[in-house]
Structure 1
Amino acid sequence: MKTAARLKTVRMSVRKVRLVADMVRGMNALEAVTRLQFLRRDAAEPIAKLIQSAVANAEHNHKAEPEKLWISSISADNAGFLKRFRPRAMGRAAEIHKHMAHINLELTDEPKTAKK
């Protein structure tokens, strides 16, 4: 059984989100949420909420037990950027890009085996 959840246009750089995503990949879903609560990174909060949402989806749609759910895949993809302008010298303006990310998560009811 697979359950998916998606979080779109998170106002955070993909590079920063991937650091946290790599940490929780392959973990038990409830253990991952517990670890993310104590992680001092901005990306930890939206990823923890996404995992909780995916667990709720699995409970509601497939009658799955939350203790037996594992993160089989999690990825962060580029979602474009917002253009903002910053004043510069001699009356000029420089463009600033505020990056965004899409986060995709998939849960399964069987732990991922380690590759040799």
Structure 2
Amino acid sequence: MEARAYLKYARIAPRKVQIVLDLIRNKPVDQAMAILKHTPKAACEPLEKLLKSAIANAENNHNMDKNNLYVAECFVAPGPVLKRMRPRAQGRAFRVLKRTSHITIALKERD
């Protein structure tokens, strides 16, 4: 049995999120929450909110014990890319790619 939480269309690049997800993978939820709270990365704020959501899903929907939960699976997939133009010298324009992410966290109970 596992509890999942998804965050779709997060306005942060997937490679920035992947760095933080590697820190919390296979950690107990209380330790993962502490890591997210004290890591100075932009991805920590939405990931902390997503982890809280996954914990709530586990407790309320699957009757799991919060003390035995750990981050079994967490990954990020690229979402759609917003393409914008940036004005440059002599009437030119450069393309700016604003990347989005789809983030998934799955929690399981330790035996």
Instruction: Report the TM-score, using the length of structure 1 for normalisation.
Output: 0.91
> 1:30 & 1:53 partners in 2: Cα distance?
14
Moved more, 62-71 or 12-21: 62-71
> 1:105 & 1:37 partners in 2: Cα distance?
17
> 2:46 & 2:110 partners in 1: Cα distance?
24
Instruction: Report the TM-score, using the length of structure 2 for normalisation.
Output: 0.95
Please name the residue that 2:47 is paired with.
47
The question of 1:102 aligning with 2:102 is answered yes
- Structure 1 stretches of 4+ moved >2 Å: none
Please name the residue that 1:74 is paired with.
74
Q: Structure 2 matches for 1:1-116, cutoff 5 A?
A: 1-110=1-110
Shift of 1:64: 1.4
Query: Percent identical across equivalent pairs?
Result: 37
Shift of 1:95: 1.2
Gaps of 5+ in 1: 112-116
Matched length: 111
SS in 1 for 2:30: helix
Q: Root-mean-square deviation (CA), in Å?
A: 1.1
